Amino acid sequence: MNKIATFGLIAAMLAFSLPVFAGEDAPYPQIINIDGRNCTSLNGQWKFLVDPYKLGYHNYHQVPHSDAGSFFADRSFDDDRTKLIEYSFDRAAELRVPGDWNTQYEKLYYYEGNIWYRKAFDFAPKDGMRYFLYFGAVNYSAIVAINGKRVAKHLGGFTPFNIEVTGRLRDGRNSVVVLVDNTRQKDGIPTDNCDWWNYGGITRSVKIVEVPATFIRDYSIQLDKTVLGKAKKGRKPQPEVRRIYGQVRLDGGCNPVTIAIPELGVNATVIPDANGVARFEAKARPELWTPEKPKLYDVQISIAGDDVSDRIGFRYIETDGDKILLNGKPVFCRGISIHEESAHNSGRITSVDECRELLEWAKELGCNFVRLAHYPHNEDMVRLAEEMGLMVWSEIPAYWTISWTNPATYANAVNQLEEMITRDINRCNIVVWSVANETPVSEARTLFLSRLIARARELDPTRLVSAAMEKTRKGPNVFTVDDPLLAYTDLISFNQYQGWYSSSLDDCDLTSWTFDQVKPVFISEFGAGALYGNHGPVSERFTEEYMAECYKRNIRMMEERMPGLAGTTPWVLKDFRSPRRALTGIQDDFNRKGVVSDKGEKKQAFFVLQNWYSRLKAK
Ligand code: GCB
């Protein structure tokens, strides 16, 4: 083939293989603290159409339709029956939003693919105001259209996004159509293989946010650990004087910003720079947030025409040798890992009450810490944990075998990391950002993850950053962690399943640990599986007795032969759905490592862990 022909062929291939990006741009930068804004909820019943072949998106030759020719147009067969319109949202069944689709209809239990959602609603936009369409999370990809026009595309199933729709909302009836696709992606975050249910749908709230032309988009308010003035021993002892600092980012202008924390006597007005970023600092005597006394302060941020309130706590977190220090004092993280699954139907959590049920079990166990695995949980979960005195490990779903060399995969991972940190930057209970779970060591993977860690530190230098790594064998019964990622993490955090994925319970008694680095050791997972009510000899797998014994022996091993242990988050609070669990009569689509069953029953292991945590607490 001559050069011109080759060029022509490549150009033609490119032209046809490029996705249609018109109207499928990235969303607008995230507006934080949505519940503190003036919002109209679009939660409730949405019409839906299941579309495994994506016929509403492209034609039979897979050429994408225009907006008008696609389901985004929200037309209907009944509009004009002389025309061939082979769909109608009005005739369709309904799905609840927020909610996964898998637990709403039996026929959607295993479904992975495309589903169209449509919400029709009346609205009256006000002159001079700006409007954003906000989604708490959509798993996995979402293409959003408003009144027939595509406006944005978002990837990643566990973080919020918002789209500016100023000028696109009509006075009267409006339509929002979302094409949701939860097809697992080899190059996605997560990849196409994981150990949890791939719940699809608009799984978190949808709202229209109304803000003035210039508004407060995001802010971060933190505590500097430096003590500026000692507490005076008086009749009423006062906390030490410290520095509270932060920044507020405006959108659309540079009005003066006032930050007030009335209970601390803070009231600062600052002028933003040309980019609308106002930096401030103030001296104050905050009572520090602790799990025992999770003190939060009312914070008001205002500019002419806009104000936002939040409840913010002040604490600092750091490491010193092999210790984790909370407010300068060593703390042992008595944790548990949690999947964001409801205690009732094992679907995605959609209410604060469902978050509370899980977190109350964690409190009953004696926890001061939760690992919110394996993706950012909903904002209510984090806020409630903060009120209840639970420190949090928050992570992105860079799990197992990610496509480490694919730049698009990296862009997706870093975007999910940024969205997670932006949303929760003010939650003082979050003490660890985690960038990955059990990823196979290679140069490309370590480069990928170390870049994520660097980005997390750049966005937030105040918290610890880590990843759930894996153990390596050093001698016959001696284990260590020698992952090169340790050079970048604050913790030696790893998952280990002695007594379960190893050959027998006795392994726990034989195993000892040694670490070359001096950093806090954190067991991000250990555990065993049992079906609640299944009793038998200690040696029999999936009995409560085996599971309880595995906990006992792991606890003994950690207490006696785990130098530098600073915390643990056993796997896992509640049995959760997973397609990797095929043992009929025992697993039935559930990972049975919950210390609580999927029906809320406490297994023997719950009490073993509770007992250990109460001993640790008493120390
Ligand atoms: C792990 C994973 C977790 C699994 C768990 C298990 O190491 O991090 O996601 O669910 O093991 O039960 O195998």
pLDDT in tens, 232-251: 776 677 899 999 999 999 99
Does 13 score more than 50 pLDDT?
no
For the segment 109-129, the average pLDDT, to the nearest whole number, is: 98
Does 252 score more than 50 pLDDT?
yes
Cα–Cα distance between 204 and 163 in angstroms, integer?
16
What does the block give as tokens for 115? Answer: 């589903």
Give 588 Cα–ligand 1 centroid separation in angstroms: 17
- Can you list the alpha helix ranges (DSSP code H) found in 139-204? none
For the segment 106-126, the average pLDDT, to the nearest whole number, is: 98
**Mutational test site, ligand 1, from 371, 495, 577, max ligand atoms within 8 Å of CB:** 495
What does the block give as tokens for 180? Answer: 């949701």
Number of C-beta neighbours around residue 587 at 10 A:
17
- Can you list the alpha helix ranges (DSSP code H) found in 425-490? 443-459
Q: How far is CA 93 from CA 88, 116, 117, 143, 569, in A?
A: 10, 11, 10, 20, 41
Does 20 score more than 70 pLDDT?
no
Does 17 score more than 80 pLDDT?
no
> Which strand (E) or helix (H) includes residue 94?
strand 94-97
Cα–Cα distance between 587 and 610 in angstroms, integer?
24
Task: Report the alpha-carbon angle 512-453-137, nearest 5.
Answer: 105
Cα–Cα distance between 422 and 30 in angstroms, integer?
7
**Mutational test site, ligand 1, from 591, 592, 595, max ligand atoms within 8 Å of CB:** 591
Give 361 Cα–ligand 1 centroid separation in angstroms: 20
Q: How far is CA 23 from CA 48, 64, 230, 606, in A?
A: 22, 13, 57, 50
Q: Are 150 and 165 in contact (CB under 8 A)?
A: no
Ligand 1 within 6 A of CB of 374: yes
Report CA Rg, the chain. 26
* Predicted pLDDT at 527: 98
Residues 6+ positions from 231 with CB-CB distance below 8 Å: 237, 238, 239, 240, 285
pLDDT tier for residue 14 given thresholds of 50, 70 and 90: very low
* Predicted pLDDT at 596: 98
Q: How far is CA 583 from CA 343, 529, 531, 542, 588, in A?
A: 22, 12, 11, 11, 6
Ligand 1 within 6 A of CB of 495: yes
3-state percent helix, strand, coil for the chain, nearest multiple of 5: 20, 35, 45
Give 463 Cα–ligand 1 centroid separation in angstroms: 25
For the segment 476-490, the average pLDDT, to the nearest whole number, is: 97
**Mutational test site, ligand 1, from 193, 525, 541, 542, max ligand atoms within 8 Å of CB:** 525
* Predicted pLDDT at 231: 75
pLDDT digits (tens, 9 = 90+) for 585-602: 999 999 999 999 999 999
Residues 6+ positions from 167 with CB-CB distance below 8 Å: none
Give 534 Cα–ligand 1 centroid separation in angstroms: 21
Q: Is 185 helix (H, G, I), strand (E, B) or coil?
A: coil
pLDDT tier for residue 292 given thresholds of 50, 70 and 90: very high
Cα–Cα distance between 251 and 418 in angstroms, integer?
18
For the segment 288-305, the average pLDDT, to the nearest whole number, is: 98
What does the block give as tokens for 296? Answer: 């939060």
Q: Are 456 and 490 in contact (CB under 8 A)?
A: no
For the segment 444-471, the average pLDDT, to the nearest whole number, is: 98
Ligand 1 within 6 A of CB of 438: yes
Ligand 1 within 6 A of CB of 593: yes
Does 3 score more than 60 pLDDT?
no
- Can you list the alpha helix ranges (DSSP code H) found in 388-427? 407-424
- Locate tokens 């945590």: which residue? 613
Looking at this protein, which amino acid is placed at residue 542? F
* Predicted pLDDT at 19: 37
Give 353 Cα–ligand 1 centroid separation in angstroms: 26
Number of C-beta neighbours around residue 234 at 10 A:
7
* Predicted pLDDT at 15: 37
Give 340 Cα–ligand 1 centroid separation in angstroms: 15
Give 291 Cα–ligand 1 centroid separation in angstroms: 27
What does the block give as tokens for 297? Answer: 């302060």
Phi, psi angle pair for 263, to nearest 5°? -65, -20
Cα–Cα distance between 30 and 14 in angstroms, integer?
32
Cα–Cα distance between 333 and 389 in angstroms, integer?
12
Ligand 1 within 6 A of CB of 47: no
Q: What percent of the chain has pLDDT over 70?
A: 96
Domains in the chain with CATH codes: 31-212 (2.60.120.260), 226-315 (2.60.40), 318-618 (3.20.20.80)
Residue ID of nearest Cα to ligand 1 atom 7:
495
Q: Which among 420, 458, 421, 37 is positioned nearest to 216, based on CA atoms?
A: 37
* Predicted pLDDT at 158: 98
On average, the pLDDT of the chain sits at 95
pLDDT digits (tens, 9 = 90+) for 365-409: 999 999 999 999 999 999 999 999 999 999 999 999 999 999 999
Q: Are 271 and 254 in contact (CB under 8 A)?
A: yes
**Mutational test site, ligand 1, from 195, 402, 435, 593, max ligand atoms within 8 Å of CB:** 195
Give 576 Cα–ligand 1 centroid separation in angstroms: 11
Ligand 1 within 6 A of CB of 395: no
Pseudo-torsion of CA 430, 432, 433, 437, nearest 10°?
Answer: -130
What does the block give as tokens for 474? Answer: 């050093």
- DSSP letter at 233 equals -
Q: Are 354 and 344 in contact (CB under 8 A)?
A: yes
Phi, psi angle pair for 568, to nearest 5°? -155, 150
Three-state SS sequence of 27-63: CECCCCCHHHCEEEECCEEEEEEECCCCCCCECCCCC
Helices (H) and strands (E) in the chain — how many of each?
8, 33
Ligand 1 within 6 A of CB of 493: no
* Predicted pLDDT at 234: 65
Give 252 Cα–ligand 1 centroid separation in angstroms: 45
Cα–Cα distance between 547 and 553 in angstroms, integer?
10
pTM here is 0.96
pLDDT digits (tens, 9 = 90+) for 316-347: 999 999 999 999 999 999 999 999 999 989 99
* Predicted pLDDT at 24: 84
Pseudo-torsion of CA 100, 106, 109, 111, nearest 10°?
Answer: -90
Cα–Cα distance between 378 and 99 in angstroms, integer?
12
For the segment 192-199, the average pLDDT, to the nearest whole number, is: 98
